[in-house]
Amino acid sequence: MTEGKRNLIQGLFQEYDIQSADDIQEALKDLLSGTLQDMLEKEMDDHLGYDRYERSGEPNYRNGTKSKTVRSKYGEFQVDVPQDRQSSFEPQVLPKRQKDISSIDDKIIALYAKGMTTRQISEMIEDIYGFEVSEGMVSDITDKLLPRIEEWQNRPLSSVYPIVFIDAVHFSVRDDGVIRKLAAYVVLGINEDGIKEVLSIVVGENESSKYWLSVLNSLKNRGVQDILILCSDGLTGIKD
């Protein structure tokens, strides 16, 4: 399991009141089923050529849904596969006769863990689909997924964290043909139950006291009232 997936699971602890490995599995199954449902709906929109609630004079249109039981590594769950009047819809992410998705469910979960940028999410979607999808379709799908990621990034936090670690991961990005260095700052807290929890991941271009004040204020605005020990490795501006 990658570090990104571990971070995702930690982020789910509070949302799903996770107390055991079974609870984690249920949470991942919930995310997986919801993502598949969104992708199926978006595929139908792309197939018909218009969104679900748009009016159209086209002869083909939505004709309800058909419930389907899907097997995955996280257990069985139900999805409602959209149907069209002409029965010409052929879903790609979940083909008509496919009921076992064990080979792709890890990729869908990784989509959330890797989902820091639209570009990364788009690459994972193309990998899941196995063919080149239109730019508009990728954009529509990511538009549905990004609010879930933002919800995790803005979720309420505990009032007290005995220990919080802040560290940076530096990486190179291409911006208008120019390679430049950026840093992703990971804020990792250990809560009162002794469980590690990724509180925030922010991308910054400089390390100043003003910048760190904004990072810490964002934690405060999400409910953090006290940090007993703050650990960092010589990050500029933290002491100030």
pLDDT in tens for each of the 240 residues of the chain?
556 556 655 666 666 666 666 676 677 777 777 777 888 888 888 888 777 666 666 777 787 888 888 877 777 888 888 888 888 888 877 777 766 666 555 555 565 555 445 455 556 556 655 544 455 655 665 666 677 778 888 899 999 999 999 988 877 766 666 777 778 888 999 999 999 999 998 887 667 888 888 889 999 999 999 999 999 887 888 888
Domain boundary among the residues 101, 125, 153 is at 153
Q: Is residue 239 part of a domain?
A: no
Which long-range contacts (C-beta less than 8 Å, at least 24 apart) are formed by 51-56?
A: none
The distance from CA 22 to its chain's CA centroid, rounded to whole angstroms, is: 21
**Residues spanned by the domain of 170:** 160-232
Model-wide pTM > 0.85: no
Q: Tell whether 21 and 125 lie within a shared domain.
A: yes
Rounded CA separation 142/42 (Å): 10
Residue that terminates a domain, selected from 97, 121, 153? 153
User: What amino acid occupies position 221?
Assistant: N
238 falls within a domain: no
- Final residue of a domain: which of 112, 127, 153? 153
Q: Helical H runs in 98-230?
A: 105-113, 118-129, 135-153, 209-221
